Structure 1
Amino acid sequence: MTTVLSVSGSPSPTSRTARLLRDLDARLTAQGHEVVPLDVRDLPPEALLHADFGHPAIVEATALFDRADGIVIGTPVYKAAYSGLLKALLDLLPQYALKGKTVLPLATGGSTAHVLAIDYALRPVLASMGPAHITPGWFVLDRHIEVRDDGGIVLETDTRRALDEITDQFSAALGSRRPLRTAA
């Protein structure tokens, strides 16, 4: 079984990004992956802002990245880039924290003007961290994510279809590799 770390870079506790990730987590779990959620907003702000590499929460977050076979990174788009909160965490990880891993980048935003944020802002940073493979990412408009009263989401039909497809591609990329923990 492969382990997937599902990272939400949203600072909001009512984040559509985090809800979208938890929805994708359920699909990946149903496909046989162990999914570990990580909401960066739950890490101590002092540790992130003061670059406290030795803080126990940062050490644990780094260990989660190390143990994962695949990483899903979700972020809201602000000012045509990924969130500063996500940037703070990525800056604290080792240079090659994604070495040998399969990565799926996702972004949410209010306008199609931000659709290229994945390819021009997030993907280069992820690529610099040594992943074996970055699968095609996806941008979701906020208005295509309806939040239900129970906290779950309903996605616009075409968005659901596209997200299911990219999630399945990510899952297949994970399935075509031996888990890193057992590789010799």
Structure 2
Amino acid sequence: MATVLSVSGSPSATSRTARLARHLDDRLRRQGHEVVSLQVRSLPAEALLGADFGHPAIVEAAAQFARAEGVVIATPVYKAAYSGLLKSLLDLLPQYALAGKTVLPLATGGSTAHVLAIDYALRPVLTSMGAAHVVPGWFTLDKDLSVGADGTLTVAPAAATALAEVTDRFSVALGARLEPLARTA
């Protein structure tokens, strides 16, 4: 199967977005994919804000993108756009860091007014970075995600069903892209 880089662009240590990404990571692992997680908030702020392309943490993040066949990009939506933290990282990656990759965009937010942020804010950036295929993403309302006292994420049933479907479509698209490569090897 494929190596998938799962990127959380949330600045919050208690992020529902990051927990949602981990939830989907588990599903991808059960489907046989190797999943590597990247929390953008764990990268040094001075490197992100100072555009330090040569910082070892930024170089390693770029290498993680290069090694992945698929990328999940999860972000909270703030003011109708993806997080500034995620933008900082994407700006430091090579122009075509997503070349040949299958990408699944995910977003969380407090209002359905932000549902188009995936298609109008995030998808154009992912496409400009050379993504071979940006599968239809999914926006999940904050109210559909609850975190228990033990940190366990619970996803409302309708949202869980939709998320499973988009994750499965991503997995199928990823497999379809890798199949011709396996035949030529």
TM-score class normalised by the smaller sequence: over 0.9
- What are the within-5 Å matches in structure 2 for residues 71-110 of structure 1? 71-110=71-110
Percent identity between matched residues is 72
- Deviation string, structure 1 residues 108-156 (Cα, Å, up to 9, x no partner): 0001110000001000000100011000000000000011222121111
C-alpha distance in 2 between matches for 1:105 and 1:38: 15
Return the offset for 1:177: 2.3
C-alpha distance in 2 between matches for 1:82 and 1:52: 21
Return the offset for 1:178: 2.1
AA at the equivalent of 2:124 = P
- Deviation string, structure 1 residues 33-53 (Cα, Å, up to 9, x no partner): 000000000000000000000
Q: Which residue of 2 aligns with 1:176?
A: 176
Q: Which residue of 1 aligns with 2:11?
A: 11
Q: Which residue of 2 aligns with 1:117?
A: 117
- What are the within-5 Å matches in structure 2 for residues 39-54 of structure 1? 39-54=39-54
C-alpha distance in 1 between matches for 2:105 and 2:179: 20
Q: Which residue of 1 aligns with 2:69?
A: 69
Return the offset for 1:176: 1.3
SS in 2 for 1:139: strand
User: Unaligned 5+ residue runs, structure 2?
Assistant: none
Q: Which residue of 1 aligns with 2:165?
A: 165
C-alpha distance in 2 between matches for 1:21 and 1:180: 28
C-alpha distance in 2 between matches for 1:63 and 1:22: 21
SS in 1 for 2:54: coil
What TM-score comes out, normalization by structure 2 length? Answer: 0.96
2:140 is aligned with 1:140: yes
Q: 1:124 to 1:107 in 2, by over 3 A?
A: same
Asked if structure 2 preserves the Cα contact closer than 8 Å seen for 1:2 and 1:179, the reply is: no
Return the offset for 1:179: 7.4
Q: Structure 1 stretches (4+) deviating beyond 6 angstroms?
A: 179-184
- Comparing 46-55 and 170-179, the one that deviates more: 170-179
Return the offset for 1:181: 8.7
C-alpha distance in 1 between matches for 2:181 and 2:143: 39
AA at the equivalent of 2:158 = D
